[in-house]
Each structure stands twice: as C-alpha cells, then as structure tokens.
Amino acid sequence: MSCLRSSWVMLIAIAAFVIPGGHPQAYASAQTVQTQDNLTEEQMRDFLLKAQVVGSKQGGKGVTSPYRLTLKDGNMVHDGSFQAVDEQKTSRQFDNGKTEANFRDSYKYNIAAFEVAKMLGLGDMMPVTVERKWESKIGSLSWWLPVMMDEEKRLSKHTEPPDRNAWNKQLNKMYVFAQLVYDTDRNAANLLISENWHLWMIDFSRAFRIYASLENPKNLVMCDRQLLQNLRQLNAAELEQKTKKWLTKDEIKGVMARRDKIVTFFDDLIAKKGEQAVLYD
Ligand SMILES: Nc1ncnc2c1ncn2[C@@H]1O[C@H](COP(=O)(O)OP(=O)(O)OP(=O)(O)O)[C@@H](O)[C@H]1O
Ligand SMILES: [Mg+2]
C-alpha cells in the first residue's frame, strides 16, 4: 500500500529525533528500525502479529488503559499499544452527568477503524493495527508512532502549525471520518502529531454506534475531494467482508447509513456554496 509505505518512510526519518530521554526500548527500536527502510503495511502487520513481547508497561490510570508493549523479532525491536477492553452496558453514566444507552467500549473498534480508514484512503492517518492475544487476553495491537505532541498539548500551548492550511486539511479528513464511524470519544488526546506535523488518529474504542444519524454534523465543513469520492464508492459488501470479524451487522449498517448522510450533506453544501468552497485537494 503506497500511502502506508510513504508514511513509513516519513516515520523512520523522524523516529530517531523524537524519543531521546523517553522510553529506552522505544529509543532502541527507533534506531534499529531506522536501518530497515521500506517497511510495508504487511511487514508491520507481520511484526505485530508474530514478534515476541519482551516488555510491557500500562499507560494511563484507568483500568481500561492500554499497555505499551515492546516487541522483538530477530534484530528488530518496536513498541505497540495493546488494548483489550471489551465492555457492554445497557446504560452508562459519565462524570459530566450524561448517560449513553447501549454503551460499548471495545478493542474491536480499533481494528475495524483501521480497516475502514484504509478503504477510504486514510490508512496513512492511523497506525497499523491488528488483533493479537497477549497474556490470555485478546486485544488490538497498534504500531507505536513517533509523537511530537498530541492535539491536547498543542491547544493548551497555543502552538500554531507551520502550515495552517495543510493542518486544516488533515483535521477536516479526521472530522469526516469521526462522523462516519460515529466516534463518541474523538478527544484531543486521541490525535497525535509527529515532528513533521502529520496527524494520526488513535483510539476508536468508543466508536461504531449503530445510529443512522450523525454524531455532530456541525463538524462537517469541508471535504477532501478524493475522500468524498471514496465515500461515494464505499461498498457495503466489501465493508462487511473486511470488518465482519469486529463489527455486528447493525454497526456496519450504521456506517453505510451515515455514509449516505455525509455524501448528501456535502452534495447539498456544494450546490449551495459551490465546489470551491467545499472541496479541496
Ligand atoms: N500507537 C500509538 N503510538 C504512540 N502513542 C500512542 C499509541 N497509542 C496510544 N498512545 C499513547 O497512549 C495514550 C493512551 O492511549 P489510548 O488513547 O489508546 O487509550 P486511553 O485513552 O487511555 O484509553 P481509553 O480508550 O480507555 O480511554 C494516547 O493518548 C497516546 O499518548
Ligand atoms: Mg484515548
């Protein structure tokens, strides 16, 4: 997959500069991996599926926080984020007082989101993610990315991206994708930024609600021309074939229904404002 190949080239080019002083294994991995250019999605996938786990550390405070695993295969070492959460509740109350019916938080959605992103040409905005068993738990395992900061930090520090227009183009792709997969947790800590201001989307464990409506249509402002084209062509049978291991039939139906809504929304907007104001390349 060429987009992933190029993102990998970019990723290795910056990896060595990102982590000094940070996680020691990650630094070692950046150096080791740096010598292996042209890693394809298949190679990363293979590594994530087969490499031996040689280290682990749980990330945040919560019980559902993912583990940062260090993996080794031959002379290659790299980290991955392992998330095994798989919860279902008829109703869940949040700290802000809101409740959500049919709440689900599942590692399965991390894998499904990556599969859907690839179908839409957005594979280079997400880490390669596979299903993997570790310590008798099944979960998602994502390629560890070289991160300069996350969007939460960028906003709190009022750091302006060097190219605002290019940045907005990435944000708009993310907003469209978040509406498609009905992500209820697209918070700024789930947006990671690498040294060259590439935007990565992680953590879709609370996405894929079954609703046909859009979660927040106000977030739809402009759309990448190719992305809109790919949305038009999104095929239900292919989507099912690629995601049925992780999504229910109703969750897949939800994606297709929201796809229709997003396409109609942008077609209407183009009719009103003109293509120039809505689509970008
Ligand atoms: N693939 C990755 N590459 C680099 N950093 C990552 C990756 N995955 C996760 N992280 C880091 O770990 C943090 C927590 O990961 P994640 O967002 O998946 O879980 P969480 O928000 O703690 O879990 P929950 O879904 O329970 O809210 C991220 O904000 C990010 O800083
Ligand atoms: Mg998160």
DSSP lists the bridge partners of residue 73 as: 76
* Burial letters 237-261, b for 16+ CB under 10 A, else e: eebeebbeebbeeebbbbbebbbeb
Backbone φ/ψ region at 105: left (φ over 0), alpha (ψ -120 to 50), beta: beta
Longest dimension (CA), the chain: 57
Ligand 2 centroid, distance to 193 Cα (angstroms): 14
The residues whose Cβ lies within 5 A of ligand 2, an ion, are 190, 203
pLDDT at position 17 = 27
CA end-to-end span of the chain: 20
Backbone angles phi, psi at 131, to 5 degrees: -95, 135
Contacts 24+ apart (CB under 8 A), 134-140: 134/53, 134/56, 134/67, 134/69, 134/82, 134/84, 137/84, 138/84, 138/107, 139/66, 139/82, 139/83, 139/84, 139/85, 139/107, 140/81, 140/82, 140/83, 140/84, 140/107, 140/108, 140/110, 140/111
Do the Cβ atoms of 263 and 132 come closer than 8 Å? no
Do the Cβ atoms of 246 and 239 come closer than 8 Å? no
pTM of the model: 0.87
Do the Cβ atoms of 173 and 125 come closer than 8 Å? yes
Q: Which ligand is nearest to the CA of 146?
A: 1
pLDDT along the chain (281 residues), means of 10: 35 30 32 50 96 92 84 95 95 84 95 98 97 97 96 97 98 98 94 96 96 95 98 98 98 98 98 98 96
Q: Which ligand is nearest to the CA of 62?
A: 1
**Which atom of ligand 1 has the smallest separation from the CA of 205?**
25
Do the Cβ atoms of 100 and 94 come closer than 8 Å? yes
Instruction: Give the pair of three-digit tokens for residue 180.
Output: 């498609």
Q: Which ligand is nearest to the CA of 187?
A: 2
**Which atom of ligand 1 has the smallest separation from the CA of 110?**
18
pLDDT at position 115 = 98
pLDDT at position 62 = 62
Separation of alpha carbons 115 and 81, rounded Å: 17
DSSP lists the bridge partners of residue 99 as: 93
Separation of alpha carbons 212 and 261, rounded Å: 8
Ligand 2 centroid, distance to 14 Cα (angstroms): 23
Which residues contact ligand 1 via a Cβ below 6 A? Answer: 59-60, 62, 64-66, 81, 83, 85, 127, 142-145, 147, 150, 189-190, 192, 202-203, 205
Q: Where are the domains of the chain?
A: 2-280
